[in-house]
Amino acid sequence: MDKYIDVSMLSMDQLQQLLGINDNHLKLLEATFHVTITYHQGQIHLVSENKDALNAATMAMQRMVNDILANVELTMDVARYEVNHDDTALAVAKLNEINIGRTISGKLIHPKTQGQYQFNIMMDEKPITFALGPAGTGKTYLAVVKAVTALKHKDVERIVLTRPAVEAGENLGFLPGDLKEKVDPYLTPLYDCLNEMLGFEAVENYIEKNIIEIAPLAYMRGRTLNKAFVILDEAQNTTIHQMKMFLTRLGFGSRMVITGDPSQIDLDYKVTSGLIDAVAVCRNIDEIGIIELTSDDVVRNPIVAKIIDAYARHERKKQHANHR
């Protein structure tokens, strides 16, 4: 059985982008769907004895063609996303039509994966959103982009960014300054995103006017946060009491986004993560959204996704061995 896709409308540069460097995109399709793919005189020819595999490969290739026609840069990450595409997911060309925000340089920010798309929708619809997932899935970045966009549109009056003062194997006690000054270095990813969205001078100005507040989680106690977009980063390192305290700070006209990676808990092994506990407690509350991003949503070097999957498999093996 075989199928043909007409690509005669593509320029030589677009065709090269479709095939990939050293035909890597074709090789990806062939390895994934066990089909044979060749190009000849403006036609992509796909061959397989398996009808379902042939259809799936053909649809993936057509999505890649559509991406190029929509001026999407067809990188290996994009090709891999289209290959793993399912019937409920949006193609990259469609994802690029969804604008989450705009950087200070004018660059539009789009969701890059189906998980990021769902996360974006959830932040729009729910007063509180939990985003769980490994490094590189864009949890914190998208939350800050959403917060800055809400501030620009005057949907909120201020942004509050916080995280627990728990170190990944390092000791804050040896750093100079008060608690906030000690925690600031750990908040660098938040500062980086804010600077990208607003510019360094604007961020400094907003911080001076308390329109943007960046503070350790301990500073949230006893407060009610109204008309604010509040982000709790590295939430896997909160205790149960800290998380309950934080969630009950929600005031009128506010939104909260809680991000964390359950595989990167730095708490003492005897302490239950407040993030894990809160997700279990709040899962059935309609006003609270929970999105679980995976290695499929990693937008860093593809090796990162493989590392995450390898660690997950290793952890499952250890847990299985411990229960024997």
CB 21 within 8 A of CB 72: no
Structure confidence by residue, pLDDT tens digits, 205-260: 999 999 999 888 888 888 999 999 999 999 999 999 999 999 999 999 999 999 99
Residue 304 — very low, low, confident or very high, per pLDDT cuts 50/70/90?
Answer: low
| Residue linked to tokens 């999505």 | 63
Residue 88 — very low, low, confident or very high, per pLDDT cuts 50/70/90?
Answer: low
Percent of the chain with pLDDT over 70: 86
Q: Reduce the DSSP state of residue 64 to 3 states and report it.
A: helix
Q: Answer whether residue 180 shows pLDDT above 60.
A: no
Q: Answer whether residue 320 shows pLDDT above 80.
A: no
CB 290 within 8 A of CB 139: no
Among 93-97, 181-185, 295-299, the range scoring the smallest mean pLDDT is: 181-185
What number of other Cβ atoms are within 10 A of residue 171's Cβ? 8
Q: β-strand 2-6 against 43-47: which pairing, if any?
A: antiparallel
CATH fold for domain 2-93: Ribosomal Protein S8; Chain: A, domain 1 (3.30.1370)
What number of other Cβ atoms are within 10 A of residue 232's Cβ? 27
Report CA dihedral (308, 310, 311, 314) to the nearest 10 degrees: 160
Contacts of 167 (CB under 8 A, 6+ apart): 186, 266
Query: Is it true that domain 98-322 has CATH number 1.10.287.610?
Result: no
What integer is the mean pLDDT of 262-282? 90
**Can you tell me the distance from the alpha carbon of 268 to that of 72, in angstroms, rounded to the nearest whole number?**
45
Q: Which of 168, 146, 174, 297 is nearest to 230 (CA)?
A: 146
Tell me what pLDDT residue 166 has. Answer: 60
Residue 1 — very low, low, confident or very high, per pLDDT cuts 50/70/90?
Answer: confident
Tell me what pLDDT residue 151 has. Answer: 95
CB 161 within 8 A of CB 234: no
CB 275 within 8 A of CB 243: yes
Estimate to the nearest angstrom the gap between the alpha carbon of 33 and the chain centroid: 27
What integer is the mean pLDDT of 291-305? 73
Residue ranges, comma separated, of all CATH 3.40.50.300 domains in the chain are 98-322
Structure confidence by residue, pLDDT tens digits, 38-76: 988 899 999 999 998 999 899 899 989 988 888 888 888
Q: At 267, list the tokens.
A: 């708490």
Q: Which amino acid is at 79?
A: A
Residue ranges, comma separated, of all CATH 3.30.1370.10 domains in the chain are 2-93
Give the strands of the sheet with 43-47, arranged side by side: 2-6, 43-47, 36-40
| Residue linked to tokens 């982008």 | 17
Average pLDDT score over the chain: 85
Residue 169 — very low, low, confident or very high, per pLDDT cuts 50/70/90?
Answer: very low
Q: Answer whether residue 170 shows pLDDT above 80.
A: no
Provide Rg for the chain, Cα atoms.
23
Q: Answer whether residue 121 shows pLDDT above 80.
A: yes
Q: Which of 2, 5, 1 is nearest to 43 (CA)?
A: 5
Got the DSSP string for 119-171? HHHHHHH-SEEEEE--TTS-HHHHHHHHHHHHHHTTS-SEEEEEE----SS--
